[in-house]
Structure 1
C-alpha cells in the first residue's frame, strides 16, 4: 500500500488509546440482520417504528437496555439503541475492571460483562417489541492486547494473548498481522500515522491486529456478525474501522446477511479524522456511514462561543455528507479527552442535543453513559466486574436519553423529517430559533439571561405544547406551558437562560386539512352496507390511523369518536363499518399520536355513496 503524502495526523489521544496495560479500541459497526433458519421458529418478528435517532446506552447491561427500550425508547420514538460489544472480553488480573476491557475481545460467544447470551437475546426481543432496532458495537479489527498477561475473561473463553491463540474462535499466530511480513516495524508499532500500511497492518496500541486479508479471518468475523443478526441485531458500529483496509471490510460485509427488517444492515464506522487519501473519512463511505467527530468538535466550539454561527452548519464546515454521517454530541472516548461537550457542561450539553435533534443533519445519537472520576473507571459493577442494573436516580449514571426535553425532541425530530430549515432568527450572539418547514419550531437560548421575542414559527395558527417543559395531555391541555401561534404564524415567546422552547404538531385547533362541515344525511332506504376501509399510511412509533366522517357510524366528524383502523397488514390500515344503504357520506383519515395530537390528511373530503346492500371495499392512500 502507498502512504498518503499529506502531513501525518497525530496518534489517537491517550484518553482513547493507552499504550500500557490500559488499552482500548474504539469504533464499531452497526448493522441489521435476518434470522438464520435455526432461529426462525422462536424469534420475534420485529416491526420498526420508523425513527432514526439512536440512543447510545454506553455499557448498560442487557436487562437494563431491554427495560429502557420498553419504557422510554419505544414510547418516545427512538429508532434504535446502540449496545456495548456483545462478545467475551479479557478480565484483568488486578481487579480494576476498566470500561475499555470490553474493547479487547477474546471470544465470539455472547457471555460478557453485560450478561448472558440468553439475556442478550431477551434484550433484543424486548427492544423489537417496542419498535426499537438494536445496533451492536462490533470490535472486529483486533483481539486483546499482545502485551496483556491475563488469560481470564468474563465469559470463560480459552485464550492467551501473548501467544496469539484464541481457541474458541480458532485464531492462531497466522491469523494476525505481524512484523516483518505485513507490519514493517519491529514490535508491530505504528510509527507513521500517515502510512495506510502501518495504520491498517500494525498494532493500534499493542492490540493484536487481525489479518483481514485472509478469507478464513473474514469468514470468522462475518460468522460472529451473522450470529448477532441471528438474534435480531439490526446494525453494527464498526470499532477502529480506520484500521481495517476498505477492501477487507467490503469483503467481510459481503458475507453478512440482510436484516430482518429488510435490506442491508446499517453500518457506521469509527474513523477518527486525520490523514488523507485512503485514511480520510470520505474513503470509508463505500462501506457505510462514518462517525462524525468533526460535528461533535464544532458543536462544542459554538456552544462555548456563539451559536448564531450555526446558521450554516453542515458539509461546508468540513463534515461528511449528511446521508453518510452518524452525528453525535459526544461518545465514550470524546467525553474522556474533554474535546466535546459532556454531562459536566450542564445546560450546554442538553441544548447541544436539542440542536442536534432539531437541525436534521445526519443520523443523530443521544449518548447516555456513566459518571467517572478517572478515565479508566469501571461502569457500576459487582466485585467480579459484571455491570449492575442501571439506576438513573443513583447519580452514578447519566440517563441523557430520559431528559424530558431531549426525549420529547425525538418526537419533534420524527415529525420534522423531510422538512427544510426555515424562519431562521438569531440575536447575533447566543440565541437562535428556526422551523423545519411548517412542521416544527424551536428556540435555543445559550446565554445567561432570558430572551423575549416575537418569532415567525412557520406553524399554523393554534395552541401548542412546549415539549421541552411538558407534553400534550387529555382534553387538549398541556402538562407544561403552552404557546399560542397567531394567524400570521407568529408567536411571542420568552426563552429562559440556558433553556429552549420547542413546538410541533397541529396545535389544539384543526387549521390544516380540516373537513368541510356537512350535516349527517338521512338514509334514503333502510338497511346497512358493510364498508371496509383500507388506508395505506406509513407511521412512526405511537401513531395510529382512524377514519372519521359525516355520519354517526363515522363519528359525525368528531375525532374523539373516529373509528380506529387495525395495522395488522401494515402499512395498510383497515376497519369494517356498517353504513346506511343508498346513503352519500363524506370522510377523511386522521392520525393520532400517543399524546392525543390529531393530524388530518390534506385536501377535500372524500365522498362515497353506499350501495343498496351487501359489502364494499374502499382502497385509499393518505393525502
Structure 2
C-alpha cells in the first residue's frame, strides 16, 4: 500500500487566523500540561495558483498554521487558452505552463519543504488534448493523436461509440477506453505508454514532489494505475480521482491497492446535511467501503464548485459550516480549497499574456458577492482550525452532546468543538469536556480567549452557522 501523507511536528505554533503575521493570544491562566505532539494532516488545493504564489503561501500561511500539504494544478505543457480546463489538456510533459516555468516549479517545491509543507502534483496521465491540433503554450506542435517525440496514433484507444466518447457509464469498457469529452485516451495498458508516464512522474519526484493526484483515474483500469505508480521512484503519496456513481461498474474501492482516493460521496453528503441542519449526522459519514486512512475528504473542488454538486463559496454560511465539519470529524484526511470567484464556469484565473497573475487574496468573508476573478483564498479562514486538527489527530469523538441543530464533542482529551447548524438562533450550552481546567482561545476566532474550563465543564456561546473550537496549546 502507498504511504499516507503526514508530517510530525513536536509543538504547535502560535495561532493565526488569516494573517501570517498574527500574534499568539495571551494565554495567561491556561493550563500547562506537557505540550502535545501535533500531527499536521490538513491539506489545501490551491486551484490555478502560479508557482511563485504557492511558494509564498507555503512560507507565510500554510507552514506556520500546521497545514500538511498543498495540492497543485497540473504542471505540464497544455493547450493554449484562457479557460481553466486548458491545464487538463496536455500536449507534452515539459514543465512549462500558464502557472510558471520548470525553474519556478522547483523553487516553489523547495520553499514549501522549507516551511514544512509537502507538495502533491496533479498528474494528468489518462489522456492528452481534446482538440484537433495546434501549438502548446511552450511551443510544442501536436494533433489529436500525434505528439511528436511522445505519442502516436497507436498509443491511443479508439472507441466504437457513435461519438467516440463515453456514452454509457454502466459499461466499464466505455468508461475506460472511450474518450472523456473528446480527450485523446491513452492506452495505459501498453508498456511503452506506461514508460513515458512513469518518466514524467519520476521527473516530478526528482524535483521534490511528495505525491500525486491521479486525474481521471476512473477512466483507467485500476490495474493500470497500480502498475504505473508502483514503477515510480520512491514511495509517493497517491490519491486517485474516482467519482462514485450509483450502480456503476467502476468504484473508488477498486483503486485502494494503488493508494488513497478522494471521497466524493462525503462531499455530496455534507452538502445535504448542512442545509437541513442535522450537523450531528456528520459524525457518521463515510464514503462507501473506503477506510478512513485512505479517504481524502473535501467540501468542494474545482469541478464540483462549477457543476454545483457540492457547496461552494456561493453558499457562504453553509459552505463555512461544511468546512468546519470537514475538519471536526475524524474520518479521512481533510483537503480545504482556495480558488477564485467566477460567473462563467469555464473562466480561468486572472491572466496577462497567457500567464496567471500573482495571487492577491481577498480577506476571508470580507466580500459577500465577490467580482469574477477575485482570489478568494477560502482556506485561510480555517488556519486556526487546521492547528486544532493537528493537535487532536485521529482521536475519536467523546462526550457527544446533541440538541436540535447543534452538536458538540471532545476529540480525545486535547480538543473540543461545538457546532451550531441553526441559521437564526445562537446556542449557549454548558458542556462536559476532557480538556484540563484553564482558559482557552477559540481556534476559529483566536482573539477570543474567554473560554474557561472548570472541573471538566465549559460554557460556550456559538453564533448561528458557525462553531467554537478549543484545544490544548
- TM (norm. structure 2) is 0.87
Matching residue of 1:58: 47
1:484-518 CA deviation, whole Å, 9 max, x = no partner? 0011x11111111222111001xxxxxxxxxxxxx
The answer for unaligned runs of 5 or more in structure 2 is: 6-37, 364-369
Aligned pairs (5 A) from 1:457-468:
457-468=433-444
- Structure-1 separation of matches of 2:161 and 2:49: 38
Change (3 A) 1:267 1:233: same
- Give the conservation status (yes or no) of the 8 Å contact 2:269–2:285: no
Alpha-carbon offset, residue 278 of structure 1:
4.9
Which one of 374, 378, 381 corresponds to residue 348 of structure 2? 378
Change (3 A) 1:144 1:421: same
Change (3 A) 1:50 1:453: closer
- Structure-2 separation of matches of 1:365 and 1:60: 16
Aligned pairs (5 A) from 1:107-146:
107-145=92-130
Residue 151 of structure 2 corresponds to residue 171 of structure 1:
yes
Residue 99 of structure 2 corresponds to residue 99 of structure 1:
no
Which one of 280, 291, 299 corresponds to residue 329 of structure 1? 299
Secondary structure (helix, strand or coil) at the match of 1:137 reads strand
Secondary structure (helix, strand or coil) at the match of 1:357 reads helix
- Structure-1 separation of matches of 2:279 and 2:142: 54
Alpha-carbon offset, residue 31 of structure 1:
9.4
The answer for unaligned runs of 5 or more in structure 1 is: 1-28, 33-48, 259-263, 471-478, 506-596, 598-623
Matching residue of 2:407: 432
- Structure-2 separation of matches of 1:155 and 1:491: 59
- Structure-1 separation of matches of 2:119 and 2:283: 32
Runs of 4+ in 1 over 4 A off after TM superposition: 29-32, 275-278
Which one of 232, 236, 251 corresponds to residue 265 of structure 1? 236
1:516-553 CA deviation, whole Å, 9 max, x = no partner? xxxxxxxxxxxxxxxxxxxxxxxxxxxxxxxxxxxxxx
Alpha-carbon offset, residue 412 of structure 1:
0.6
Change (3 A) 1:252 1:31: farther
Which one of 261, 273, 283 corresponds to residue 290 of structure 1? 261
- Give the conservation status (yes or no) of the 8 Å contact 2:39–2:393: no
- Structure-2 separation of matches of 1:173 and 1:333: 29
Which one of 316, 319, 330 corresponds to residue 346 of structure 1? 316
- Structure-2 separation of matches of 1:311 and 1:283: 25
Q: Which has the higher contact order (CA 8 A, sep 6+)?
A: 2
1:453-473 CA deviation, whole Å, 9 max, x = no partner? 111122111111112111xxx
- Structure-2 separation of matches of 1:454 and 1:255: 55
Instruction: Number of aligned residue pairs: give it.
Output: 430
Residue 134 of structure 2 corresponds to residue 151 of structure 1:
yes
Matching residue of 2:270: 299
- Give the conservation status (yes or no) of the 8 Å contact 2:125–2:197: yes
Alpha-carbon offset, residue 254 of structure 1:
2.0
- Give the conservation status (yes or no) of the 8 Å contact 1:110–1:117: yes
- Structure-2 separation of matches of 1:107 and 1:210: 13
Secondary structure (helix, strand or coil) at the match of 1:232 reads coil
Residue 190 of structure 2 corresponds to residue 190 of structure 1:
no
- Structure-1 separation of matches of 2:272 and 2:283: 14
- TM (norm. structure 1) is 0.67
Which one of 415, 439, 464 corresponds to residue 497 of structure 1? 464
Alpha-carbon offset, residue 442 of structure 1:
0.6
Matching residue of 2:421: 446
Residue 391 of structure 2 corresponds to residue 415 of structure 1:
yes
- Structure-2 separation of matches of 1:278 and 1:200: 11
Worse-superposed segment, 215-224 or 264-273:
264-273
Residue 62 of structure 2 corresponds to residue 73 of structure 1:
yes
Secondary structure (helix, strand or coil) at the match of 1:491 reads strand
Say which one has the larger Rg.
1
Matching residue of 1:220: 196
- Structure-2 separation of matches of 1:367 and 1:319: 25
Aligned pairs (5 A) from 1:27-42:
none
- Give the conservation status (yes or no) of the 8 Å contact 2:384–2:444: yes
- Structure-2 separation of matches of 1:282 and 1:100: 27
Secondary structure (helix, strand or coil) at the match of 1:59 reads coil
RMSD: 1.9
Secondary structure (helix, strand or coil) at the match of 2:351 reads coil
Alpha-carbon offset, residue 401 of structure 1:
1.8
- Give the conservation status (yes or no) of the 8 Å contact 1:189–1:205: yes
- Structure-1 separation of matches of 2:88 and 2:327: 29
Change (3 A) 1:30 1:347: farther
Worse-superposed segment, 221-230 or 281-290:
281-290
Alpha-carbon offset, residue 64 of structure 1:
0.2
Aligned pairs (5 A) from 1:231-242:
231-242=207-218
